[in-house]
Amino acid sequence: MLQDKKIALFMTGGIASYKAAELSRQLIKKGAHVRVAMTSGAQAFITPLTMQTLTKYPVLTDTFDETDPTLVQHIDLADWADVALVAPATANILSKMANGIGDEIVSTTLLAVHCPRVIAPSMNENMYYNLATQRNLRQLREDGYTLIEPAEGFLAEGYSGKGRLPDLSVIIEAVEDVVAVTKWKKILEGKNVLISAGGTLERVDPVRYISNDSSGKMGYSLAKAAKRLGANVHLVSTRPQLAVPHGVEVEYVESARDMQEAMEGSLAWSDYAVMAAAVSDYRVSHPSEQKIKSDGSDLTIHLTENPDILASLATKKTHDQTIIGFAAETEHVIKYAKGKLHKKKADWIVANDVSQEATGFNTDTNQVTLLSKEGQLIETGLLSKDDVALRIWKIIAEAEEDDSHGA
């Protein structure tokens, strides 16, 4: 998503300035180019040399420090950027931005910026809730800035409150969201998307269970991508430890039967239902209510087959709904995926070779092949899971658009 994107990072004088070093590293690891401008306050917390070393670009610190006579440095940075990210954003810079003040390098450059702008506020709770700050935030929203809610937690002042810099993953997701708006059409605008994610868990006793290695990351990427493409998204997840994508509604379940109830309960609402979860094929017939004690002898556990959620959704769907399943295989991937497509009566199967190091469970990359009931077979190539998810939605949406035109 951020490959070769140019991000101007504007740092102002808050204690959270030190986090900007890691923020820039994470953006660069995603393929972005990062250039930095710092107020004098930011430089009191972290040096320009640190940011220059990490980004491999000179850092702007003074509006009038013009070392290249062929350009005006702050205008050059404003014209260069695909996204402007203000992090951390103090109450002071929010006031300047809301009122059009440019009196140092950061505020002056931001006046010239004409790309999407993302703001990550960070300050003391009392400053954040000050009426003037709240008024400035409202004005910035009206002006089209993307504002991230500050986090709650332990503040530098020694007490808890709202005002911490949001987690870096939240900031990066917000940047990716604004890039997605410019990169992808809202091909799912107004659609309702139901997605399952993660491996289901079947209890043996109160402390033991049967499950699988599915991390849920692919399902979460699909949910994030669908939201960015304009959909209303309901995520049924077994992985509460994963960060919920912005704007996505989540429902947590544990077992296959829990997931079946949740998915079937929301099926009528959905235009697309995606079974990305890895559902345990079997469950324990009679889980023990107490912890099973070892007594030195073998233990036999009777398993019974779990419901086939994908097949159940396919039989219950209406003619204008689309059912999408996943086939995680370790051999004969396409052959088994074709069999699953026809047996389950799904509209699409996404085939995934989980035997490969870069495409197996718990990875951040994937490579899949989409198979449709009409016989299409389309590969995505090896990409990040977020980019694979966008490709999946683009392929399916375009195929359905072609079908509607041909009807």
Catalytically annotated residues: 212
C-alpha span between 124 and 82 (Å, rounded) = 30
Half-sphere exposure of 81 (CA within 13 A, CB side): 29
Q: Taking the C-alpha atoms of 15, 21, 27 and 29 in order, what is their torsion angle to the nearest 10 degrees? A: -150
